[in-house]
Structure 1
Amino acid sequence: MTDLPPSRQRQLEQWVQTSALPTAFKPSWVRLDRALTHKSVDAINNYEQLELLGDAVLRLAATECLQEHFPTASVGELSAVRSVLISDRTLAQLAQELNLAPCLAVAPGMTAGPSHLADALEAVVAVIYLETHTLRMVRAWLDDAMLRLAAIVRQDPARQNYKVALQELTQAHSKALPQYRTTEQQAVDGHPQRYASAVWFRETCWGSGHGPTKKQAEQAAAAAAYDRLRRTLTHE
């Protein structure tokens, strides 16, 4: 493996020092660089392979964390909370909190969107896991954040999956489903405003939203519509 340019290694070293990683973490700088490199920069040495591993590691780490701290919760509830914790939206938010964005190398003119940040965070988790092949350091790094987010999700009756919550709400009241009208905007891949979506029910638009993917735009629209429609249907 070739050495990294000094400026890139200094950038990664500074990030590790400020990211609250366990002091025992002594990464391969080349591997960490790969975890923070998009395929637009290097078609071979990029984060995709590490991201695949990190996705599985995060799922297991989140499961262990939730089962240990919420032993009386049902499997269905834990599964719903875990789904939110390991979603691209949550991971991108966490990546921003960890100041990962400035370290993510992308092609000139390209904007790193939420899905890219989520993938990069998963790749970094893989790098941490590969140091010991255990979850010890991964959980030491992320447990506090996962528990903080889990507490928020558990207090949300929709579990932040507003598409499902909205569907259950409309079916319970009228045996009908909401309809989504989603369009792709003129924006680059990963742009937070790439897709626009509006959710309709009974010939009325109840909410709209944007997102870097069609799914996230529809979730944003459903979130905007949920409380408004719930209040309306409750008083019918």
Structure 2
Amino acid sequence: MSLKLVRQLQVLGNSLGYTFKDVNLPQLALTHRSFNSKTNYERLEFLGDALLGMIIGEALYQRYPEHQEGQLTRMRATLVRQESLVKIAQSLQLSDYLILGVGERKGGGRQRASILADTVESLIGAIYLDSGDIEVVRACVLSWYGDLINSVSEQKMLKDAKSRLQEWLQAKQLDLPHYELLETIGNAPNQTFVVSCQVKVKDCPEIMQSGESRRIAEQKSAELMINQLNKLPKAVASHKL
């Protein structure tokens, strides 16, 4: 490992709020498969993704005791999706440290949203393996998120969920989602609408949600469908929404 890279990793450690004992771990966490198809961040990303979901889930459970499971699920999906992870990557200036192949560098890989989001998760995995302490990882993750957890709201979660789902399916040349009104409960103006959302993606179940309007119910079902798609194997879901 070059002296320049060692110094870069030291600076990165200051941004992360964690100093690595094993400098090979952050180097691995920053290495994209375009640089090394066999030794790269993908396994660390797998580990970090699981840890991130648990840490954010617990934080939401503690901070929002009045929220039900469905609300907490949507809030977690909002916080761990690509858009949120990219914001964190940008705040940590991770693009400066990415180890990319020549083609990926020339193709704008340092600013590619999927790579930035994946790198945040891989660094979480690396910190866990290096420290062996989930509390250390939790402190880092929550410091990175800052006010994002406190400011997440139902309105923000529902915004454009249907659009994001549609764009994801179109990018994979798949059929658009199908929404169906299953039931209308009660009388106007105090009605509840139950809606289903289906997509033609292998192993992805139908989602059902309810809301005070059909639009809200559809947005809720789209957000949960996104959450389900993000849990599928990478062969099916190659990037997070």
**TM-score of the two chains, using structure 1 as the length reference:** 0.63
Unaligned ranges ≥5, structure 1? 168-178, 185-228, 231-236
Judging changes above 3 Å, is the alpha-carbon distance between structure 1 residues 91 and 27 closer, same or farther for their aligned structure 2 residues? farther
Instruction: Give the counterpart letter for 2:49 in structure 1.
Output: D
The C-alpha deviation readout for 1:172-209, integer Å capped at 9, x for no partner, is xxxxxxx879977xxxxxxxxxxxxxxxxxxxxxxxxx
The question of whether the paired residues in 2 share the 8 Å contact of 1:62 and 1:146 is answered with: no
Deviation at 1:114, TM superposition (A): 0.7
Moved over 3 A (4+): 144-147, 179-184
Amino acid across the alignment from 1:15: L
The CA deviation at 1:146 is: 3.3
CA separation of 1:27 and 1:88: change in aligned 2, threshold 3 A: farther
Structure 1 pair 181–27 and aligned structure 2 pair: CA distance change class (3 A): closer
* Equivalent AA in structure 2 for residue 6 of structure 1: L
Q: How does 1:3-152 map to 2 (within 5 A)?
A: 4-17=1-14, 19-22=15-18, 25-108=19-102, 109-112=106-109, 113-146=112-145, 148-152=147-151
Alignment partners' CA distance in 1, 2:148 and 2:128: 22
What is the aligned-residue RMSD (CA, Å)? 2.9
Aligned length: 169
Partner amino acid, structure 2, of 1:123: S
3-state SS of paired residue (2:150): helix
**1:143, CA displacement in angstroms?**
1.4
Distance 1:104 1:26 in 2: 17
Cα gap change, 1:15 to 1:77, in 2 (>3 Å): same
Identity rate of aligned residues, in percent?
28
Point out where structure 2 has 5 or more consecutive residues left out of the alignment: 172-214, 217-241
Shift of 1:92: 1.0
Measured after TM superposition, the shift of residue 69 of structure 1 is 1.5
